[in-house]
Amino acid sequence: MKPLQKIKSLGLPMLALLWVCFFWGTTWLASKEGVQHMPALQLAAIRQFIGAVCYLSFFMFKKTPWPKGKQWRTIFILAILNFVLSNGLSTWGVKYISSGLGAVLGAIFPLWIVIISLFNGEKLSRLSITGLLVSFVGVCIVFSDYLSDLIQPDFQLGILLSITATITWALGSMYTKKKAKNFNPYFSLGLQMLISSILLFAYTGATGTSVPILAIPAQAWWAIAYLVIFGSITTFVAFIYALQHLPTEISSIYAYINPLIAVLLGAIIFGEPLTVVLGIGILVVLFGIYLVNKGISVKK
């Protein structure tokens, strides 16, 4: 392929990647806006249910075969890890911490993959270990800006929820990689969303932590609509498209840009803190994550 033709062929995938880089970063702010007006887990349940309807309608129209037998067990486990716990808890977490901090914590899930692999007896590359240490230093720098908040119970809860969400996302990612060959992972996303939304609706209903649908204000519905369109549907489609047409090292840069977008827009829209120390800490964290990912790819 000639250089000019190659550039043109990468045009649409690069636009898709830019879409992912920006809009997945903004979803943290939409979640932050939504949880100010309604219970976080109910917001996650409604978002996942609407997203599930959209996904399943498409695949049913395409007459995609339904999962069989043990495939349902895998889908149920992923529904718990990826959506009930990871998405549900990260949405709940930003009720108590800034959207920018939530995005930074969300970006560290590759570190948990390395740590889990270490406990599983796998040998790690020096680059991955270095990245792990660099990211830890970066997290310490980030939290140095929040020392006064660390004594507040709500802030502590937000951090706990957000970190737990990253751990379950790491577990879900590893489980998906292990089981993806056994079923259609894209069709299963809709099924995971549907199962998780039912479980979240059941939990919020049983615990009395939901509000009547008619009592949900317009601001929350706008946030849900944004999360469904830009978080669950169009951006994910763009991500898959970019992943299929771009080298992995290029398509993965969204993980480093999303937190920056969330922090900058959080400062502009919500007046969240944006200091030099915080900026340095974020860059150190992201550099450490880059080293971890590089170490994993080298090992492969």
Note whether residue 62 is domain-resident. Answer: yes
**What are 70-113's pLDDT values in tens digits?**
888 889 999 999 899 999 999 999 999 988 888 888 888 878 87
DSSP state, residue 69: T
CB 246 within 8 A of CB 60: no
Alpha-carbon gap, residue 24 to 170, rounded angstroms: 18
* Rounded-to-integer distance, Cα 264 and Cα 24, Å: 13
**Is residue 140, in this structure, part of any structural domain at all?**
yes
In-domain check, residue 7: no
- Is 8 a domain residue? no
Q: Tell me if 3 is assigned to some domain.
A: no
How far apart are the C-alpha atoms of 114 and 181, rounded to whole Å? Answer: 22
- Residue 2 is assigned to a structural domain of this protein: no
Tally of structural domains, the chain: 1
* Structure confidence by residue, pLDDT tens digits, 198-231: 999 999 999 999 999 999 999 999 999 999 999 8
Place of tokens 């349902």: 72
Structure tokens at 197: 């939304």
Share of the chain above pLDDT 70, in %: 90
Among 273, 289, 23, 26, which residue's Cα sits nearest to residue 155? 273
Nearest to 78 by CA among 67, 63, 91, 93: 67
**Residue 297 — very low, low, confident or very high, per pLDDT cuts 50/70/90?**
low
Least confident of 19-28, 116-125, 149-158: 116-125
Per-residue pLDDT reduced to its tens digit, 123-140: 777 887 888 888 888 888
Residue 1 has pLDDT above 70, yes or no: no
Residue 167 within any structural domain of the chain: yes
Domain span including residue 59: 13-299
Residue 24: Cβ within 10 Å count: 23
CB 163 within 8 Å of CB 43? no
| pLDDT at 6 > cutoff 50 | no
Does residue 51 form part of some domain? Answer: yes
pLDDT in tens, 170-192: 888 787 777 666 666 678 888 99
Amino acid 167: pLDDT: 93
Window from 30-44, 76-90, 271-285 with minimum mean pLDDT: 271-285
DSSP string covering 98-157, please? -HHHHHHHHTTHHHHHHHHHHHTT----HHHHHHHHHHHHHHHHHHHTTTTTTT-HHHHH
